[in-house]
Amino acid sequence: MATSDNVIRAGLTPKFKDVDVLLNMLTYRYGSAKSQILNPIPYKNHKSTTLYDPPIEEFSVSMTRLNSLEKREVFDGMPGPSIIIVTNGNGAMTADETSELLEPGSVFFVGANVPIMVEAATGSDGLDFFRAFCTLK
């Protein structure tokens, strides 16, 4: 949910519930679960990274999969903040001359305009991570 001062409650609270307004503002898209899946697209010039760009302006998600051939990716700073979550493998991330170990379940905040370098650990099968980000205008 995007940042907002507006909250419409529909239940499970003693506060005011406005179910009718909630139901009127929802968008229903019918179809199979498979038809709802976003197709990844290449992300800039990165060989190991794909972009999942939902039809909303608030955020996008990239997935980076480093393997035995591509063990390193360098990313320019993004104009907005981002969050990285590691889902598989081990490695290291360097940002602003600080290095952090990466392992499954690791979560990191990366500030706006901070370039990062991510590298899979030597001898590992690879490294997979997702990065959710927003672009400030």
Give pLDDT tens digits for 62-100. Answer: 999 998 778 999 999 999 999 999 999 999 999 998 999
H-type alpha helices, the chain: 19-25
Give the pLDDT of residue 103.
96
Number of domains composing the chain: 1
Q: What is the predicted pLDDT for the residue at 3?
A: 57
User: What is the per-residue pLDDT for 37?
Assistant: 86
User: Is residue 103 included in any domain, yes or no?
Assistant: yes
What parts of the chain have a pLDDT lower than 70? 1-5, 135-137
Under DSSP, the state recorded for 40 is P
Average pLDDT, the chain: 89
CATH number at residue 48: 2.60.120.10
In the chain, which ranges are E strands? 41-42, 49-52, 60-66, 72-75, 82-89, 91-95, 98-102, 107-110, 116-120, 127-133
pLDDT number for residue 136? 58
Q: What is the spatial distance between Cα 7 and Cα 102, in angstroms, rounded to a whole number?
A: 36
Is 72 designated active site? no
Residue 99 domain flag: yes
| Residue 77 belongs to domain spanning | 39-133
